[in-house]
Amino acid sequence: MTEERSTEDAVAGPGRVRVAVIEDHPLYRVSVERVLAEAEFVELGAVVDSVARFHVHRQPPGSVVLLDLGLPGVAGAAAVLEVCELGHHVLVVSAQAEPDVVLGAIAAGARGFLSKDVDADELLIAIKTVADGGAYVSAVVAGMIIKDNADRPVTAAEVELSPREEQVLRLVAAGERDVDIALILGIGVRTVRGYLDRIRDKTGERRRPGLVKEAIRRGLIGGSGPRRGGRK
């Protein structure tokens, strides 16, 4: 059994990012911990095997938390929600990368999703992106979602979104609430909701998971890349 890391003295210095890990597989946990310990911009905090143990360590709010979904106790989207409610930015790193699982995690508040075959460089890029307030879905995961969408019957030609509508959709996919989107873009909440209504009308997606999938398909989330045949 591997030793778990405490949050003692885990105070992030200037330009550094607090990162914690919740992963129940010992070998994978050690591998991730080693990558993070060697990254100059990372201030490594709690490294534990469950959400329950994470609560004990009292990781400072605002940390980027690498979260597996197949955990003992609280797991899946419920684990994402619980960690987000503690004030952290969740980046899921999971072997479970089916479209419904990915969309469920993002709908619960995850800022990003990586499959466990991600390399160290992409993991660190994703951490930086999430720490800076962005969203990140690895190309492998995005490709699965795009393929799942492509396998469904085509019902209508795609309608272009305006630049502002793309901004709003990107922020929705990043887990921002209407009021937060308004503050980020410097517009009113009613204006945000007006944009969301137009986005829903154009895409045909009424619920948040569907909007997240649309953002991924359009290449609006970091790492997913532009859709094939779409704008660069």
CATH code: domain of residue 112 = 3.40.50.2300
Of 120, 147, 174, the position where a domain reaches its end is 147
Q: What is the mean pLDDT of the chain?
A: 84
Q: Out of 47-51, 155-159, 162-166, pick the least confident.
A: 155-159
Q: Are residues 59 and 22 in the same domain?
A: yes
Which one of 100, 131, 147 terminates a domain?
147
| Shared domain check, 140 and 25 | yes
Residue 1 belongs to some domain of the structure = no
Residues 21 and 113 in one domain: yes
**Inside any domain, residue 227:** no
Asked if residue 159 and residue 138 are part of one domain, the reply reads no
Flag whether 231 is in a domain.
Answer: no
- The pTM is what? 0.70
Query: Among residues 197, 207, 195, which one has the least CA distance to residue 163?
Result: 195
Q: Who has greater pLDDT, 13 or 155?
A: 13
Say yes or no: 130 and 24 in one domain. yes
**Residue 223 domain-assigned (yes or no):** no
Q: Domain with 195 in it: what CATH number?
A: 1.10.10.10
Of the candidates 129, 147, 165, which is a domain's last residue? Answer: 147
pLDDT of 149 > 90? The answer is no
| 77 domain residue, yes or no | yes
**Does one domain contain both 82 and 182?**
no
- d(CA 134, CA 128) in angstroms, rounded, equals 9
| Cα atoms in the 13 Å half-sphere on the side-chain side of 226 | 5
Same domain, 163 and 140: no
pLDDT at 218 over 90: no
Residues belonging to the chain: 232
178 domain residue, yes or no: yes
- For residues 136 and 23, membership in a common domain is answered with yes
Q: How many separate domains does the chain show?
A: 2
Which range marks the domain in which residue 208 is found?
155-217
Q: Which amino acid is at 181?
A: I
- How many angstroms separate the CA atoms of 99 and 136, rounded? 15
174 and 70 both lie in a single domain: no
> Is residue 50's pLDDT more than 70?
yes
Instruction: Choose from 4-8, 75-79, 96-100, 107-111 the range with maximum mean pLDDT.
Output: 75-79
**On the CB side of 191, how many CA atoms lie within 13 Å of its CA?**
13
Quick one: 120 and 201 in the same domain?
no
pLDDT of amino acid 213: 80
- Are both 96 and 165 inside the same structural domain? no
Q: Is residue 230 part of a domain?
A: no
Helix%, strand%, coil% for the chain, nearest 5: 45, 15, 40
**75 & 143 share domain:** yes
